[in-house]
Structure 1
Amino acid sequence: MIERRPFGRTGHHSTCTIFGAAALGRVTQAEADHTLELLLAADVNHIDTANSYGESERRLGPWTGRYRDRFFLATKTEERTYAKAKEHLHRSLDLLHTDHVDLWQMHCLVQPDQWEQAMGPGGALEAFIEAKEQGLARFIGVTGHYTVAGWMHKRSLERYDFDSVLLPYNYAMMQNPTYRADFEALVQLCQARNVAVQTIKSCTRGPWPGDEHSAATWYEPFSEQAAIDTAVHWVLRRPGIFLNTPGDIHLLPKVLDAARRLTPGPQSELDPAMEALAPTPLFT
């Protein structure tokens, strides 16, 4: 059984591994169906997708339409204006075969100029607040990549009381003193406000060393079960956070298997094993 944790202030207890549905962006419906069957069998109860994830929302639609009560359903938009963000939300609702999402997120909001537009007059934040008031999105959040994500999310929470954040978290990233300080400051704020913290890039080995890619992820992931176990357990031994699974359907069973076998203990206990795997940061 995969551990469940309170997802911030939402009242939902989400599996600590959230399905990262970017993995469905370039697969057939048959492959998506098989993947959703794996999620049901593993009792994963939280799906995270985005309007920009290729065919992901379309592939999810037949399943979320049938099993809407089984999943906490989240999606995202990269649009920064009120009108375009609102249009994106309605497109997502149509593709997902639902009349509401549980969480709608401002996607990859880390560029200062885009932040000013989204948070300013006529910006996407107005569409997000309206969607929450209308019940089209029960909760709203913000996501980000790169080393500035922690700092920018803290800025976003100072502008509006979002319900969740999402950002990179792995052993290699946390060796960057600036990123580590920003991440810890963000987590402290989120804990004080009961804001859910989702993390990505848990299974990152590093940038692809060449042009040959053996996985659908844009970075080279760990692929051996033992390495995935170490990386997943390192992340999930931190209380209260969530791991969004990598964007490759073939890695998913291994990540879910690792999550099932999570054992208690200090995160630092796994530091030597992570160091031995020699991961390198994606963002510097």
Structure 2
Amino acid sequence: MERRALGRTGHESSVAILGGAAFWETTVDVVAAAFERAVAAGVNHLDIAPQYGMAEDLAGEVLPQYRDGMFVACKTLQRDAAGARAELERSLGKLRTDRFDLYQMHAVNSDEELAAVLAPGGAAEALVRARDEGLVGAIGITGHFQQVPRLFRTALERVDLDTVMLPVNAPMLALPDYRAHFAALLDVAAQRNLGVMAIKAVARGPWRTEDHHATTWYEPHRDPAAIREAVRFTLSQPVTGFCMPGDVSIHPDALAAAEQFTPLPQDEIEARIAAADRADALVS
């Protein structure tokens, strides 16, 4: 599997990132199988968070045997420094490690949330301190919705972050405002050598029925060819990699898509954006 530099972190990341959101409510055996499958395919990067149900507890049973070769990224949803520090220390204990390679402010989706984490005594202070202490190697910010490229540019004016994580798929880039702010964010990332990670690569759109066939909070693509082309689109953007979706049953096809990746030409990227249905964008 291809590897790409995660900005200035020094890590060469697999283009597929093992997403701990898939471990929300499952078993240790399922998590162990997911790790084994991902590592066999060449994955060397785990993304996980306390908000993913039982994920930290379950992954903590499995991660130690892979820790030396695995870049571990965790997150905090706490908005104040004290809460973020406490959550960081809890996560270290649950995952049975003494250090995170990357620690991120999780789901900063609004101006109000951004103001809270950047305020005096906000979560950003705790992340900077943890990096200074060597408790985490790098720090970043993540978000889900239409506003996040704009919000992240503001965050980068205030805090020396190492990475960003946000949705990258054709329906989101079909939104003119999102695409414009995403392009501006990519310019800043290139200038500062920041890692850019994608989420929602295989999102088909919001759920439109009560019958959910996956554990993701959005409707994912299920057809292997559709997954392959969705991943191909995302990895053809200037990103380090994509988080595999929050359903372990989709992981084999997502891994295959990453292994088979070939870049799209720019005219095909533009055609896919033009053809995308904006109603499929996960805007809120």
Aligned equivalent of 2:245 = 246
Rate the CA distance shift 1:26–1:275 in 2: closer, same or farther, 3 A: farther
Q: How many residue pairs are counted as aligned between the two chains?
A: 283
Report the more deviating stretch, 37-46 or 271-280: 271-280
| Alignment-mate amino acid for residue 224 of structure 2 | Q
Cα separation, 1, equivalents of 2:258 and 2:85: 36
- Structure 1: gaps spanning 5 or more residues: none
Is the CA contact 1:227–1:277 (under 8 Å) kept in the aligned structure 2?
no
Letter of the aligned partner of 1:167 in structure 2? L
Alpha-carbon separation, structure 2, partners of 1:13 and 1:50: 21
The residue type paired with residue 76 of structure 1 is K
Per-residue deviation at 1:283?
Answer: 1.1
TM-score normalized with structure 2 length: 0.95
Cα displacement string for residues 54-87 of structure 1 (whole angstroms, at most 9, x for unaligned residues): 1111111122222211110000001011111111
Of the structure 1 ranges 139-148 and 260-269, higher mean CA displacement relative to structure 2 is found in: 260-269
Q: Residue 36 of structure 1: CA displacement?
A: 0.8
The alpha carbon displacement at 1:270 in A equals 5.2
What is the match of residue 190 of structure 2?
A: 191
Tell me how far apart the structure 2 counterparts of residues 267 and 219 of structure 1 sit (CA, whole Å).
27
Residue pair 2:60, 2:96 contacting (<8 A) in 1 also: yes
2-structure distance, mates of 1:137, 1:247 = 25
Between 1 and 2, higher relative CO (CA 8 Å, sep ≥ 6) is seen in 2
Cα offsets for 1:234-262 (capped at 9, x unmatched): 11122443211111100011010011111
Provide the C-alpha distance between the structure 1 equivalents of 2:277 and 2:112, rounded to a whole number of angstroms: 35
Contact 2:169 2:201 in 1 (8 A): yes
Counterpart of 1:145 in structure 2 is 144
Partner of 1:113: 112
Given that 1:165 and 1:198 are in contact with CA atoms closer than 8 Å, whether structure 2 keeps it comes out as yes
- Separation in 2 of the partners of 1:129 and 1:70? 25
Matched residue, 2:255: 256
What residue in structure 1 maps to residue 283 of structure 2?
283
* SS of equivalent to 1:214: coil
Equivalents in 2 of 1:227, 1:79: separation in Å? Answer: 36
Relative distance call for 1:216 and 1:274 in structure 2 (3 A) is farther
120-129 or 44-53: bigger deviation: 120-129
Distance 2:11 2:30 in 1: 28
Ranges of 4+ aligned residues in structure 1 off by more than 3 Å: 270-279
